[in-house]
Amino acid sequence: MLKVPDHQVAGHEAGLGKLGPLIDDSGRFYKPLQGDNRGSEEVAFYESFSSNSHIPEHIRKFFPMYYGTKIMKASTGVDHPHMVLQDLTSARVNPSVMDIKIGSRTWAPDASEAYIAKCLKKDRESTSIPLGFRLSGLQVYIDDESRFYKPDRNYIRKTGPDDVRLLLRKFVSSNPSADMEMGTGSGPGPDCSLASSVYDGPNGILAQLLELKAWFEDQTFYHFYACSFLFVYEKRLGLKGALSNAEVKLIDFAHVTDGNGVIDHNFLGGLCSLTKFISDILTEIKDCTGTNGQVEL
Amino acid sequence: MLKVPDHQVAGHEAGLGKLGPLIDDSGRFYKPLQGDNRGSEEVAFYESFSSNSHIPEHIRKFFPMYYGTKIMKASTGVDHPHMVLQDLTSARVNPSVMDIKIGSRTWAPDASEAYIAKCLKKDRESTSIPLGFRLSGLQVYIDDESRFYKPDRNYIRKTGPDDVRLLLRKFVSSNPSADMEMGTGSGPGPDCSLASSVYDGPNGILAQLLELKAWFEDQTFYHFYACSFLFVYEKRLGLKGALSNAEVKLIDFAHVTDGNGVIDHNFLGGLCSLTKFISDILTEIKDCTGTNGQVEL
């Protein structure tokens, strides 16, 4: 039984007469090929990546599983080709999800002038140029009553460097709606109570980013323009003090180009910048609490 | 006694009626302040950097010493303010020198539209966008008879990724005029006979770049747009099997901006890309010779 994904935070959404991704009960994610070259380019990347024997197994786990393409009834009701991918949130009950587009430049050198101009404008108006990445969307699970904190996409689009810092804190907080920065005075801020279990530790997001960083310092197969990190975790596990099951995945490969023997310095720079933001949050929390990162409430 | 520098490979050159840097016998380099804001911006950087107590000593050594500013007779014959800096090649007899502008983007986010357009055009036409850095100039000492291999700036300006790879090899070769890539067939290529002593080892250029990389992964004080690495070494020392006295320095700070708590992901990306080029050369040489990098002639 196909349906619209519950936990999509960015990208095209399926709707009445609108083409968008679908999921089924078996853990598969059906992404319709976009009409211009993007769809076929993304398929080309998945085919290349799947058969590239130089990709280490510990890196392959950061990419969605790819099961080929399939012509099937799309969200618009008509037949359309789809990529069949792993549904990254299928094993989750109430996932907190963040989508972060990496790189200060989202256009490949060989893109058309019109496309470059469009991307450059977005890169300059967002935090891509100053930070080397920008937020595309997020949802943070609060509790069964309040459900999710899910800021409006128009807000996300306008976030500056300070908002990004705040949202990276909210993403690991039990009170993500709190608007003050921690310790800035007139009100409680996001408590970052999950920072330790989600961002830190040997299985945390920071450790996963560092694993990817080591690969990006060396790999010269692909340049990942306009590609995103998806951060996913399950809050309940985190609060219990168990592993939060935090996962980093790479998604959106419509603008991947051949690396031609050169590392992806654009992606790597953004990845290092994001890594620094997250390690700064962990350092500040440890400095504040003198503990392992659990804020004293 | 002031004179025009002997070993300048890039930038404005002093000449008849032309403003350019001068040196004296005591190891000082006098850089005239440029007429627009660049001169004062570069002075502001040196003043800030000199007094910034957070810069570790092992990083400070990568920057030229700064001795303030001085109004003095310029190369044009009229009085003009100059920055008084360390002459980076004063202790050298026949230095091989390479100037590499780092970063795929040479413009700061707050630059004027006209300036951004001008820089972006150069970044796209050069290797800055594909490689994250571009060569600005080089000279390679051959011997007392042939003196220096010093390719024309117009050639340097037009170099593509493959030329850059070749020039990084020529820079550490005893036959830098050889035009074939090693092992590509019809002729001897640059022999890379100095690669081991210049690029490799605990005091080599690669080790110095990695030291800087570690700092750039963490420092959020400055963003270094359009800044260059200067690689300098003395061939004779290298050939004798002694230390080549290879040095990495950062120069040209007219477009440094405040980091605002964010790492310089643009510089870091380019630095990592350059590092990979150099470590690839060392790997290829070791693979070819099965030795410590000395090519068997």
Instruction: Write out pLDDT tens, residues A40-81.
Output: 999 999 999 999 999 999 999 999 999 999 999 998 889 999
pLDDT over 50 (residue A297) = no
Angle between helix axes A265-289 and B265-289 (nearest 10 degrees) is 120
Q: Which residue has the tokens 């230390």?
A: B243
What is the C-alpha separation between B193 and B195, in angstroms, rounded?
A: 6
Selected for mutation to probe chain A from B106, B265, B283 (highest A CB count within 10 Å) is: B265
Closest chain B C-alpha to A102 CA, distance in angstroms: 11
Report CA-CA distances (Å) from A2 to A75, A76, A81, A159, A277: 9, 13, 15, 34, 38
- DSSP annotation of B131 reads H
Closest chain A C-alpha to B65 CA, distance in angstroms: 29
State whether A220 and B276 contact (CB < 8 Å).
Answer: yes
State whether A131 and B266 contact (CB < 8 Å).
Answer: no
pLDDT over 90 (residue B17) = no
For residue B270, the chain A residues in CB contact (below 8 A) are 265
Task: Determine which helix (DSSP H) or strand (DSSP E) holds A71, and give its type and residue range.
Answer: strand A66-73
Q: Which among B148, B134, B135, B168 is positioned nearest to B285, based on CA atoms?
A: B168
- Burial call B248-277: b when 16+ CB within 10 Å, e when fewer: bbbbbbbbbbeeeebbbbbbbbbbbbbbbb
Closest chain B CA to residue A219:
B276
Q: What backbone torsions phi and psi does residue A151 show, to the nearest 5 degrees? A: -60, 150
Q: Which residues contact B283 (CB under 8 A, 6 or more apart)?
A: none
What is the C-alpha separation between B204 and A19, in angstroms, rounded?
A: 56
Helix, strand, coil abundance in chain B, percent, nearest 5: 35, 20, 45
Q: What is the dihedral of CA B52, B57, B61, B62, to 10 degrees?
A: -70
B104 touching chain A per CB within 8 A: yes
pLDDT over 80 (residue B184) = no
Q: Which among A176, A180, A135 is positioned nearest to A158, based on CA atoms?
A: A135
For residue B280, the chain A residues in CB contact (below 8 A) are 261
Residue B180: the pLDDT is 56
When CB atoms are compared, the residue of B109, B129, B276 closest to A263 is B276
pLDDT over 50 (residue B295) = no
What is the C-alpha separation between A160 and A135, in angstroms, rounded?
A: 10
Q: Which residue has the tokens 């630059």?
A: B111
A104 touching chain B per CB within 8 A: yes
Q: Which among A101, A109, A56, A108 is positioned nearest to A218, based on CA atoms?
A: A56
Mean pLDDT of chain B: 90
Task: State the average pLDDT over residues B146-166.
Answer: 90
Which amino acid, residue A179? D
Strand runs labelled E in B92-196: 95-102, 133-143, 147-149
In contact, B132 and B269? CB cutoff 8 Å = yes
What is the C-alpha separation between A193 and A177, in angstroms, rounded?
A: 14
Q: What backbone torsions phi and psi does residue A51 show, to the nearest 5 degrees? A: -100, 5
Closest chain A C-alpha to B38 CA, distance in angstroms: 21
Residue A236: the pLDDT is 74
The residue count for chain B: 297
pLDDT over 70 (residue A295) = no
In contact, B250 and B229? CB cutoff 8 Å = yes
pLDDT over 80 (residue A240) = no
A262 touching chain B per CB within 8 A: yes
When CB atoms are compared, the residue of B109, B131, B269 closest to A269 is B269
Confidence band, pLDDT 50/70/90 cuts, at residue B92: confident
Per-window interface: A 171-230 vs B, CB < 8 A: 217-218, 220
The tokens for A185 are 């005075």
When CB atoms are compared, the residue of A105, A220, A276 closest to B104 is A105
Confidence (pTM): 0.93
The tokens for B40 are 């004062």
Query: CA A84, A86, A88: angle at the middle one, nearest 5?
Result: 140
Residue A242: the pLDDT is 55
If you average pLDDT over each of A169-178, B27-36, B128-137, which comes out highest? B128-137
Radius of gyration of chain A (CA): 19
What is the C-alpha separation between B69 and B31, in angstroms, rounded?
A: 9
Radius of gyration of chain B (CA): 19
Closest chain A C-alpha to B268 CA, distance in angstroms: 6
State whether A269 and B273 contact (CB < 8 Å).
Answer: no
Closest chain A CA to residue B266:
A269
In contact, B153 and B8? CB cutoff 8 Å = no
Confidence band, pLDDT 50/70/90 cuts, at residue A145: confident
pLDDT tens sequence across B131-151: 999 999 999 999 888 899 999
pLDDT over 70 (residue A122) = yes
Query: CB neighbours (10 Å) of residue B67?
Result: 15
For residue B263, the chain A residues in CB contact (below 8 A) are 272-273, 276
Task: Determine which helix (DSSP H) or strand (DSSP E) holds B72, and give its type and residue range.
Answer: strand B66-73
